[in-house]
Amino acid sequence: MNENNYPKLHNAMWPGVVGKGPDSEPVIGFDTMLEMTAAAEVDGVKFDGVDLALFEHIDVNLSDDDIKRLADKLNGYNLKVGSLVAPIWGGPAMGSKEDRANFVEMVRKSCHIGQKLTELGIRPSGVVRIDSASSPHDWAVDPVGNSKLIVQTFQEACDVAADYGEKLAAEGEICWGGMHSWKTMVDTLVAVNRPNMGFQADMAHTLLYLLGYNSPEDRILPPDFDWSDRATLSDALKKVTNALRPFTIDFHVAQNDGTVFGSGSHDKTGRHCQALDPNGKLDIVHDAGYWLRNENGELTKAFKHICWDGCMFPNEVMTKQQTWNDILATMIKVRQAHGWYEA
């Protein structure tokens, strides 16, 4: 029996950047993140690739020669590229005309890099990740008007992305207006109504949807929820995944302890936990199946790679090789449970 070789297993590079900075710990360099990812190994299995952030580590204004050098560097580590994070936060999707034009331009630049990496043969799958770059507080001032602006901006970004053969995925996080609850996220995706627009599900962030942070009316779990009640938790996870799975084109494996957290310049969102954190509320391998399989338990094969996302871990944790070996071991278990084999 062949071991599953899909979905490919990727590590995110942005945890070296997100939540770091002047009022937190130093950024962990791109080369360091690559080295630790490439060095991780469990029973002969290694990470297949990385998902990239087009900020701090990598300038979104790379020349085509620079993109080739980036591809050569990754080839040197025997790592492919998957999804890219567009640096859209300078232009809120519900901001001024200039803000929204800047948002779309950042998406265009990101798509250009994605297209070039694909042409160079190092990016076999992946999307360009976006969010509304707007806070739930600001969105709530005018929900109807602001949602309309977000949808319009996303549609314009999708039209630009289509010119590059790229798909955009909105990552559902409670810290982004118009995306801060599972119902609002569905409404936004339905309204955008573009074939190259989808959802990026992160297990840590979507767990927070169940608790109604920033949107109490959309809470699914009761306020006094007992986390040992797996049956109720499973029903809640099914409700959210059934609503968002049809839109899901990118997936982050992650853990969460049921609390919110922010550090550095990053707003409060779901607290990512280490893969083996005893306080984690998710059964990672089992619960990943709600996203990787449909309501009938059949594999969706909606994406060719999955990515580990663990942001805002202390640098001491992130610079230990064992951290990445533990993460890889968890990813392998997810693939064994919900993956497939392609010759």
pLDDT of residue 21: 86
Examine residue 137 and state whether it is found in any structural domain, yes or no.
Answer: yes
* CB crowding 245-264: b at 16 or more within 10 Å, else e: bebbbbbbbbbbbbebbebe
The token pair at 87 is: 């640096």
CA dist 112 and 39 (Å) reads 30
Domain that includes residue 160, residue range: 8-338
Cβ contact 256:270 at 8 Å: yes
Examine residue 120 and state whether it is found in any structural domain, yes or no.
Answer: yes
Please state the rounded mean pLDDT for residues 93-111: 98
Examine residue 187 and state whether it is found in any structural domain, yes or no.
Answer: yes
pLDDT of residue 1: 41
pLDDT of residue 267: 54
Q: pLDDT by residue (tens digit) across 259-311?
A: 876 555 445 666 788 999 999 999 999 999 999 999 999 999 999 999 999 88
Cα dihedral 214, 99, 54, 207, rounded to 10, equals 10
Q: pLDDT grade, residue 2 (50/70/90)? A: low
pLDDT of residue 22: 86
Instruction: Inform me whether the pLDDT recorded for 330 exceeds 70.
Output: yes
Examine residue 138 and state whether it is found in any structural domain, yes or no.
Answer: yes
Examine residue 47 and state whether it is found in any structural domain, yes or no.
Answer: yes
pLDDT of residue 202: 96
The token pair at 250 is: 């990118």
pLDDT of residue 24: 87
What CATH number is associated with residue 241?
3.20.20.150
- For tokens 């109807």, the residue is 144
pLDDT of residue 213: 86
Examine residue 343 and state whether it is found in any structural domain, yes or no.
Answer: no
pLDDT of residue 19: 84
Examine residue 1 and state whether it is found in any structural domain, yes or no.
Answer: no
- Model-level pTM greater than 0.75? yes
Higher pLDDT: 267 or 73? It is 73
Examine residue 2 and state whether it is found in any structural domain, yes or no.
Answer: no
Please state the rounded mean pLDDT for residues 87-103: 96
Q: pLDDT by residue (tens digit) across 191-228?
A: 999 999 999 999 999 999 999 988 999 999 999 999 99
Q: pLDDT by residue (tens digit) across 123-138?
A: 999 999 999 999 999 9
* Number of structural domains in the chain: 1
Please state the rounded mean pLDDT for residues 157-173: 97
